[in-house]
Amino acid sequence: MRTATTSLEAAAERHLDDVYRYVLYLTRDPHAAEDLTAETFERAARLWHRFDPARGSAQTWLCQIARTVALDHLRSEERRRRREGRYAVLDSRRSESVDLESPTLSPWLQSALASLSAADREVIALRILLDLDAANAARVLGISPTACTTRLSRALQKLEEKVRPHLVA
């Protein structure tokens, strides 16, 4: 049992920042991302006995858990917003720009990324921000590697169209 705990500790130490950035990218809320990252690792601790390194890396496994946790949170938040009728607050929160801990992104690039769909932002986050290969990103998304590659290609085309006016010729 000591080996499994040590392996989980090593995986947590190695991938904590990756999981946080991924959840931040999905939620666009630093406070929620902190809470959801903690929940991700709490679930990972309970489920560590199910982790099979032959099926994928610890990073991929943790991102799968993080995605589930984040999507559950987002669905719950949406239900809460509907119940409380706070559509005006929802619109103001979505329009706020969130620093994704990448000071090298220009405001127009951040704006272009924010204008993409959640699915497009997610595949970009997995493939580019976290540098997962197509197979591991596809596993997190629950789609085939081919579909993941296609989704990334289309997302990058949309992004390019949005930033093209800002590029120097």
Q: Is the pTM of this model over 0.85?
A: no
pLDDT in tens, 125-147: 899 888 899 999 999 988 889 98
**Integer angstrom CA distances of residue 38 from 20, 65, 66, 69, 134:** 9, 11, 10, 10, 26
Average pLDDT of the chain is 82
Say which residue, 67 or 113, is predicted with more confidence. Answer: 67
Sign of the alpha-carbon dihedral angle for 135, 140, 141, 143: positive
At 25-48, the pLDDT tens digits run 999 899 999 999 999 999 999 999
| Whether the Cβ atoms of residue 40 and residue 23 lie closer than 8 Å to each other | yes
User: 97, 127, 153 — which closes off a domain?
Assistant: 97
Structure tokens at 67: 């995605």
For position 155, which CATH number holds? 1.10.10.10
The per-residue DSSP string of the chain comes to -HHHHHHHHHHHHHHHHHHHHHHHHHH--HHHHHHHHHHHHHHHHHHGGG--TTT--HHHHHHHHHHHHHHHHHHHHHHHHHHHT-HHHHHHHHHS----S-TTS-HHHHHHHHHS-HHHHHHHIIIIIS---HHHHHHHHTS-HHHHHHHHHHHHHHHHHHHGGGS--
Q: In the predicted model, is pLDDT for residue 68 greater than 50?
A: yes
Domain, as residue range, for 145: 102-169
* Mean pLDDT, residues 102-106 taken together: 60
Residues 68, 106 within the same domain: no
Q: Are residues 84 and 106 in the same domain?
A: no
- Which of 97, 120, 154 is the endpoint of a domain? 97
| Whether 74 contacts 35, CB under 8 Å | no
Domain's final residue, options 97, 118, 140? 97
Q: Which are the contacts of 73, defined by CB distance < 8 A and separation ≥ 6?
A: 27, 32, 36
- The b/e string for 134-145 (b: 16+ C-beta within 10 A; e otherwise) is bebbbbbbebee
CA–CA gap between residue 36 and residue 59 (Å, rounded): 16
